[in-house]
A and B are shown apart, each in its own frame.
Chain A
Amino acid sequence: MQQPVPERLQISPFLVLYLIMSMQIGIGVLGYQRIIAQAAGFDAWMSVLGAGLSIHIIVWMIYKICQTVEGDIVAANVYVFGKKFGHLISTVFIVYLLIFALAVLRTFIEVIQVWMFPEINAFLYSFVFLLLSVYIIFGGFRTVTGIAFFCIVLPSYLLLTFSFALKYAEFRNLLPLFDHSIKEMLTSAYNMSLTYLGFEIPIFFYPFIKDAPKSQKWAHLGVFLTTIIYTALAIVTFSYFSEAYLAKSIWATLEMWKIVTMPFVERFEYIGIANWNLVILPNICIALWGASMILKRAYKLKQRKGVIIMALICLAAIPFFDTRLKINLLNDWTAKIGFAVTYGYIPFLFFATMIAKKVKNK
C-alpha cells in the first residue's frame, strides 16, 4: 500500500475515459489499415473488433491488481516481488513509456515531413514539442488530464471528414465475410497492438483517481469507444480502397483526406495534420508523466527533475531515427514491447498478485 494522494491532486473518475482515449488514439490510427489487411485482407475489420473486445479483460485485470495492492504499478511490483526486484521491473516500464513517447513523436514528425514540409528539422520540432509537454507536466497530473480532455474533444470533428470518403465507398469490397483462416485473423488482431496501446495507463495513475473503483466503467467505456472508432474507420477504408491499392498506402487515413474538398480549402490534409498535433500531445504528456512518476516512486527522484531527464533522453534519441526504415523499426518494437507488457506481463502480474494476496492473508 502506498501513501494516498491528497484529494486536491486527484481527478474525477469520468476523466479516465478521456485519458485512455487520448492515449490510445495517436499515430497508429493514421496507417493501421494496411498493416492489418496484410494478414486477413478485408476481413481484418473483424480482427479490430475482436482485439478491442479482448482489451476489456486486461483493463479488468489492471483494476483488480490496483485494488488489491491499493496503488500503482510500482506498488504492485513491490507487493509481488519485494522491493529490489520490484523496482527493477518498474524500470522496464520507464523504458517502455519512453520508447512509446519517442515512437509517437518521431512518427508524427515523419508524417509532417512526408505530407507537408520535407525540410522541417526533426530535432528543433521535437525540442519545441517536448518543451510544451514538460511545461504541461509541470502543472501536475490534473493539467495533464485537462490536456487529454481537450485533445479528445477539440479534434473530434475530424471524424466527420471521413464522410467524404463514403461517397466513393464500395461496401461490396468487404464481401465475402470470413474468407480468411482464424490464424490470419489472429495475426491481424496482433498487428493492431500499436494502434490500441495506451489502455494500460490506469496502472500508472490509479492512486490519482478520486474514488478509483468507480472509474472502472469509464475506462471500459473509453476502450469501447476507441474500438468503435477504429472498426468504423477500418470499414470505411476497406470500402474506399481496393486491396492492392491499400497495400501500397502507408497512411491510408491521411490518404482519405485527399478526396475531401471544401470551398475554402483545396487540400484538407494540411488542416488535418496540423490538428493532429493536438491528438499526439496527450500521448507524449501522459507517457513522460508516467515515466517520471515511476522514477519518483522507485528511485525517489524529484518528478520535475525526472520529467526533464526523460524529455532530454527523448530529444537525444530523435536524430538517430532518420529514415523510414528506422522509424518503422521503432514502431514495430514499440508494438512488440507494448504487446508483451499488456498481454504478457499484466496477466502474469494479475495472477501473481492474486497468489501473493492468498499467501499474505494466511
Chain B
Amino acid sequence: MKLSKISLILAAVFALTGCVEKEIIDDVNIEMGVGYDVSEEGEKIEGTVMIPIFNPDKNIGNFTFSATAESNRDLIQEVQRKSAQPLVTGSLEIAIFGEKIARKGLRQFIDAYERDASIGARIYFAVADDKAKEILNGTYGNRGNAVHLSQLIKHNTESRNLPVTNMHLFLFNLYQEGKDPYLPILKKVEPEIVDIVGIAIFKDEKMVEELPPDKMFFFKLLTDKFSEGSFNLELEGEKVSIKDLNSKHKMKVTKRNPHKVTVEIKIEGLVREYTGKTLSPDVVKKIEKELEAIVNKETTAMIKDFQEKGIDPIGFGQFIKTKTRGFDFKRWEDEYKNLTVDVKTNVVITEVGIVE
C-alpha cells in the first residue's frame, strides 16, 4: 500500500520533468550585452545584442547581432530570427543606450527589463557617446566585452569617482518623486579601450545634461551615502593628489519659505602625491583648507546649475518631502528654483603616506 503510493508520487515527479522548456547552457545564446541606437534613417531603432563565444583555447570571443526595428518588441523578434539558438537574458550584464536614444527617452526600453523576471537588479545601464554599437563591437580585455564593461563600471564606482549605479538604483531614482536618475557615459576612445567620460543626468526618462569627468568627484560627494574617490588640486604651484577614503554627507533643512538646505560634507582622505619639497603639518592644513574651499565652490556652482536647468539628481525635493507633512510636488517645481543650498565641507587628511 505505502510502496505503491510512493512509486506513484515518484512516477508523477518524473512525468513532470518533461513539462517545462529546457535551457541547456550549450544550446542557448547567452545575451550579455545589449545596445540601442537610432538607426541611420533616423526614425527606427537599431539594436545590438552581444553574446560571448567560448573558444577551445579558453579565450572568450564576442559576437554581435544587429537588427533594425520600429520598437523594442520588434527588435527582439528580429534578433531572435537571426540567431540559430534561442537567446536567453538571464545573465545580462550591461545595457547601453546611444546618446540620441537617451535624449529621446528610455521608458519604452526599460519596461522589458523591469518585466523580465530573469534579469537581475544588478545589471548596469549606461549611455554611449555616441553609438552603443561601436562600443559593443570592440574587443576589450580577455574575459569578453560584457564582463569587461561591467567590471569597468564596478571598479569605478567602488573606488573611483563614479557614483554607485545599477538598474535597481536607476529605477529607484526614476520612480522617486523629487529626484532624477543619472547614468555613466561610456566612450570608445581607442580600439581596445573604453573610458567613462562623464555622467548623464536625466529629467524623468530623458537625458538632459552631461556632467564632465572632472565634476564627477563633487557629484559623487552629494549623491552617494558613503563614497570613495580621488581628486587632484594645485596649492601654491605644487600639485597634490588626494585619495578620498571615506566621505559622508548630511542634509538639514535650516529654513522654510523659501527653503534653505544645509549640506554638510565630511571627507576623510590621504595624500597620494605631492610635488613640493616637504609635506609638513602646516602644508597638510593648507591642503585641507584648499580642498574645502574647492568642494564648497564646485558643489554650490553645480547645484545652482541644476536648479537653473530644473533637474534634481541629488534629490532635494525628496529630502524636503521627508521633512514635511502634506508635501506638494506641484508647488515644489517652482520652489526648487528659489531653494538656497549652503554647502559646508570638513576635510581631514589622515595620512600622508610613508614619507613626509
Contacts and interface: CB of A to CB of B under 8 A. Distances in A.
Given A124-B19, A259-B122, A176 B175 contact: no
A85 B62 CA distance: 74
Interface stretch (B8-16, B255-263, B264-272): B8-16
Contact of B90 (A118, A170, A179, A267): A267
B168 interface: yes
A46 to B, nearest CB: 15
A12 B117 CA distance: 42
A120 B19 CA distance: 6
Contact of A266 (B9, B90, B173, B322): B90
B21 A117 contact: yes
A337 to B, nearest CB: 30
Given A243-B175, A259-B121, A266-B91, A168 B322 contact: no
Given A119-B21, A135-B5, A244-B175, A124 B16 contact: yes
B15 A173 contact: no
Interface string A239-256: 011111100100000010
B114 A261 contact: no
A245 B117 contact: no
Interface string A90-132: 0000000000000000000000001111111100110110011
A125 B16 contact: yes
A297 B185 CA distance: 71
A117 B16 CA distance: 12
A245 B176 contact: yes
B120 A175 contact: no
A120 B122 CA distance: 27
B177 interface: yes
A135 B9 CA distance: 10
A241 B118 CA distance: 19
B5 A115 contact: no
Interface string A245-284: 1001000000100110100001101000000000000000
Given A124-B19, A176-B324, A266-B120, A131 B175 contact: no
B20 interface: yes
B6 to A, nearest CB: 9
A313 B310 CA distance: 60
B5 to A, nearest CB: 6
A128 B12 contact: yes
B9 A242 contact: no
Contacts of B118: 267
Contacts of B171: 245
Contacts of A135: 5, 9
A172 interface: yes
A178 interface: yes
A181 to B, nearest CB: 11
Interface in B116-133: 117-122
Nearest to A121: B19
Chain B CB count within 10 A is highest, among A132, A176, A178, for A176
Interface string B169-188: 10111111101000000000
A308 B289 CA distance: 80
Contacts of A127: 12
Interface string A133-152: 00100000000000000000
Contacts of B13: 128
Nearest to B225: A170
Given A132-B9, A244-B175, A178 B325 contact: yes
Given A245-B176, A266-B120, A173 B322 contact: yes
A179 B326 contact: yes
Contacts of B332: none
Nearest to B251: A172
Contacts of A258: 119-122, 168
Contacts of B331: none
B319 interface: yes
A135 B117 CA distance: 33
Nearest to A128: B12
B144 to A, nearest CB: 15
B231 to A, nearest CB: 25
B259 to A, nearest CB: 15
Interface in B64-119: 90-91, 114, 117-119
A269 B119 CA distance: 11
B117 A114 contact: yes
Interface in A176-208: 176, 178-179
A244 B176 CA distance: 7
A38 B171 CA distance: 19
Interface string B315-331: 00011011111100000
Nearest to A127: B12
A52 to B, nearest CB: 25
Contacts of A266: 90-91, 120
B15 A124 contact: yes
Contact of B121 (A125, A176, A255): A255
Given A132-B9, A179-B326, A259 B19 contact: no
B121 A172 contact: no
Contacts of A114: 117
Contact of B20 (A117, A131, A241): A117
Contacts of B319: 172
Nearest to B176: A242
Nearest to B23: A117
A172 B90 CA distance: 32
Given A132-B9, A168-B169, A242 B120 contact: no
A242 B172 contact: yes
B325 A242 contact: no
A242 B175 contact: yes
Contacts of B114: 248
A241 B172 contact: yes
Contacts of B326: 179
A19 to B, nearest CB: 24
Given A128-B16, A244-B176, 7 more contacts: A119-B19, A131-B9, A168-B169, A168-B172, A172-B319, A243-B175, A244-B175
15 contacts: A115-B117, A121-B16, A127-B12, A170-B172, A176-B323, A176-B325, A179-B325, A179-B326, A241-B175, A242-B176, A245-B176, A258-B121, A259-B121, A267-B90, A269-B117
